Amino acid sequence: MPPRMLHNRVYAADYQRPARQDSAQRAAESRIMQVMFQPSIVEAVFPLLAAFCLTLYLFLHTGRFQTGARLPLPPGPKPLPVVGNILSLPPNGVPEYKHWLGFKDRYGPISSITVLGQTTIILHGKQEVQDLLENMSTKTSDRPLSTFVRMTGCDRYITFMSYNATWRRHRKIMHQFLGTEKLSRRFDGVLDLESRRLLLRVLATPQNLIQHFKTQASAAVLRLTYGYAIEPSGLDPLVSIIEEMMDSLSKTFVPLSWTVNIIPALRFLPSFLPGMSFKHTARRWYAINDLVTRIPYLFVAQQMVKNTHRPSFVSSFLQDNMKPNGQAVIDDDTERAIMPVAGIMYGGASDTTVSVLSAFVLAMVLFPDVQDKAQREIDGALGGRLPQLEDRENLPYVAAVVKEAMRWFPITPVNVPHAATAEIHYKGYRIPKGSCLIASSWWLLHDPATYDDPDSFSPERFLVRNEPDPAAVVFGFGRRVCPGRQTKQCKISGISKEETHKVYGDPWTISYDKRFVSNVRLQQALMYFRPHIEDWQYQYPMDFCPIYDSEKRRIIHINVPETRRSLRREPITNYYPADIDVKGGYRKDLKALVIVQPEDPSFKLDSREIEWQDWKFQIGFNYREGFVLSDIRYHNSGTMEIQTDRIRESMPSILVNIVLGT
């Protein structure tokens, strides 16, 4: 019998049943179908069935069944079938950083979990954070692809944006604001004013201290960003909306907290199904984010039309793009960029300010001896008046207290996650493309190997023991570092915003740097402070060095030593040209020195190139080395030229070689 006929007979035999049994079976099947397709059953089962199918697909395509030798993931708990390490996620009520500290104890400075195909790398080691988030920032500067972030509209903010051209544009706009000296001075004045208003509010109702902190931070940053003055008493409507936005942001980006991030297809299911409440939440938060970015911006635009606006970041940006007739030249793309940049600047600055102030108050209550010492310094330096920002240089202990508050109770115990844009092999482990990388800022700032007695509040660690400044951790890592960090380095060195234009960078070495996994030649600069244009530039060196990528035309990294030192301000004796007449004018007893060469000079000079005998070379001058000879060439017997453009000598190096006999 042919195979096809055999199969047909088998199938036919399978379906030959007695009439009574067939009738009973059909009745049972009908009953089952009626029960299964009741609306309540469909609502409960369909999402679970869809989730199961999708997770099974993810599990089968995560590479676990691929053959061939592959490096292992960093150590972590043993995964369960299909769901992976879903039981290893932080439980409700347990702070995330505390949960991950258990991983450090069990698995070491680098560990991992994988949930439904999404790998998360947890970093506790200082070297691991430096290597992966700083040195390999070209591969780890992205953000994890979060479906819920996009549903809430939070991807419009630079904090949550993917590392792309739009991110770079937003970053550039933010730098234009933070690097403007004029606006910086105005910001100092606003902070002084709002600080005094804060004191009045605290005196009136000390029981509302945290709310007063929020009001002070909101008032200062809204005034700077939009020129908006909040209501003097009671709740301000704009502040209330923005506070709700910040609360939503803090909940939106918690890793692995929203099921739709793990199973993106859930966003296509109807909202009435069980488990779809996240869709209602996303719609509400999207509307709030839209209000926060549009309403303050439109407020400034309307005020500018009436010419009643206060100077602010947004108004300055719009004025810079004005035509002579006063009409703004802002295209839709620029407007879409400036609105979220301004919005997140408010959110980021106000939220962090409240956190630091709250930590400061808690520390002063728990450590009254520190409070007494700081108060004595203020009384001794200011003589009873209220401090201003310009008094910072005279209050080193208070400045150390602020640093210690940021270290002792960090704003973000676990940093905002990074994402790997390519597979990384590190220390024998494999970090897959798309992995989420999180660093435990809490542990980095409480590691006993870095900070002595880390749980105590001790500002002396920055004054006496020279322990590492927490800014390197608090302000983020790699290319996701806080935009104000470069200005912050000047502050750490003791330079006020009004003096930042006196900070110079001297291009130094040009070479490759293996830390950045690149074949591009990078340039490092020596930074120094030059109070007067006639001062010797190396009198006041600074302790940080930016690294510049000339092809991308931007600073890609800042080398910061673990032990910081403030700028020295010892007075120097200058002899300026203007002092010549004051000190008696030029000397008049000198005789002229005359050198005569009857047969003309033995060298030829063409611009910067000198030809002498069989030698040709370039001659130059810079402030660091003085006279420099470069591009040195020698004509061998007038027939063959030996190119030695790598030879470069300066007068100081020649003298050193002579002294050392080398």
Per-residue three-class SS string for 379-434: HHHHCCCCCCHHHHHHCHHHHHHHHHHHHHCCCCCECCCEECCCCEEECCEEECCC
Class of residue 291 by CB neighbours under 10 A (exposed 0-12, middle 13-18, buried 19+): middle
Q: How high is the pLDDT of residue 125?
A: 93
Q: How high is the pLDDT of residue 539?
A: 79
CA-nearest of 145, 147, 142 to 132 is 142
Helix (H, G, I), strand (E, B) or coil at 129: helix
Q: Are 210 and 356 in contact (CB under 8 A)?
A: no
The model's pLDDT over 431-459, given as tens digits with 9 standing for 90+, comes to: 999 999 999 999 999 999 999 999 999 99
| Residue percentage of the chain with pLDDT more than 70 | 71
Tell me the mean pLDDT in the region 481-505. Answer: 64
Q: Report d(CA 525, CA 624) in Å as an integer.
A: 12
Q: How high is the pLDDT of residue 430?
A: 94
Residue 545 CB coordination number (10 Å):
17
| Residue percentage of the chain with pLDDT more than 90 | 16
Q: Where residue 27 falls among pLDDT bands split at 50, 70, 90?
A: low
CA-nearest of 181, 246, 175 to 217 is 246
CA-nearest of 285, 272, 222 to 46 is 272
Look at 43-47, 416-420, 624-628 and tell me which has the smallest mean pLDDT: 43-47
Tell me the mean pLDDT in the region 287-292. Answer: 87
Top pLDDT among 300 and 63 is at: 300
Helix (H, G, I), strand (E, B) or coil at 642: strand
Q: How high is the pLDDT of residue 11?
A: 31
Any binding-site annotation on 482? yes
Q: How high is the pLDDT of residue 494?
A: 62
Q: How high is the pLDDT of residue 12?
A: 34
Top pLDDT among 178 and 628 is at: 628
Look at 12-16, 135-139, 213-217 and tell me which has the smallest mean pLDDT: 12-16
Q: Look at residue 19 and tell me whether its pLDDT is greater than 80.
A: no
Tell me the mean pLDDT in the region 419-439. Answer: 92
The model's pLDDT over 179-189, given as tens digits with 9 standing for 90+, comes to: 544 555 556 67
Q: Where residue 548 falls among pLDDT bands split at 50, 70, 90?
A: confident
Q: How high is the pLDDT of residue 16?
A: 37
The model's pLDDT over 582-628, given as tens digits with 9 standing for 90+, comes to: 777 887 888 877 777 787 778 888 888 888 888 888 888 766 667 77
Q: How high is the pLDDT of residue 104?
A: 94
Top pLDDT among 205 and 332 is at: 205
Class of residue 544 by CB neighbours under 10 A (exposed 0-12, middle 13-18, buried 19+): middle
Top pLDDT among 271 and 564 is at: 271
Instruction: Tell me which DSSP letter residue 610 carries.
Output: E
Q: Report d(CA 99, CA 78) in Å as an integer.
A: 17
How many CA atoms lie less than 13 Å away from 50 in the CB half-sphere? 19
| 373 backbone dihedrals φ, ψ, rounded to 5° | -65, -40
H or E stretch at 463 = helix 460-463
Q: Where residue 144 falls among pLDDT bands split at 50, 70, 90?
A: confident
Query: Candidates 3.40.50.970, 1.20.120.80, 3.10.450.40, 3.50.50.60; correct CATH number of 484-590?
Result: 3.10.450.40
Q: How high is the pLDDT of residue 420?
A: 92
Q: How high is the pLDDT of residue 512?
A: 72
Q: Are 421 and 433 in contact (CB under 8 A)?
A: yes
CA-nearest of 561, 367, 371, 355 to 455 is 367
Tell me the mean pLDDT in the region 495-517. Answer: 70
The model's pLDDT over 382-392, given as tens digits with 9 standing for 90+, comes to: 888 888 877 87
Q: For residue 195, what are the contacts with CB-CB under 8 A and spacing of at least 6?
A: 216
Q: Are 82 and 59 in contact (CB under 8 A)?
A: yes
Amino acid letter for position 141: S
Helix (H, G, I), strand (E, B) or coil at 264: helix
Q: How high is the pLDDT of residue 376?
A: 93
Look at 166-175, 249-258, 365-374 and tell me which has the smallest mean pLDDT: 249-258
Q: Report d(CA 197, CA 175) in Å as an integer.
A: 29
Look at 252-266, 537-551, 569-583 and tell me which has the smallest mean pLDDT: 569-583
Q: Where residue 43 falls among pLDDT bands split at 50, 70, 90?
A: very low
- Residue 327, both tokens: 């009409």
H or E stretch at 359 = helix 332-366
Q: How high is the pLDDT of residue 362?
A: 93
Q: For residue 120, what are the contacts with CB-CB under 8 A and spacing of at least 6?
A: 112, 113, 114, 255, 256, 417, 435, 436, 437, 438
- Residue 344, both tokens: 């997140």
The mean pLDDT value of the chain amounts to 76
As a dihedral over the C-alpha atoms of residue 415, residue 419, residue 423, residue 426, rounded to 10 degrees, the angle is: -10
Q: Report d(CA 532, CA 529) in Å as an integer.
A: 9
Q: Where are the domains of the chain?
A: 148-366, 484-590, 603-660
Amino acid letter for position 471: A
The domain made up of 148-366 is a member of CATH 1.10.630.10? yes
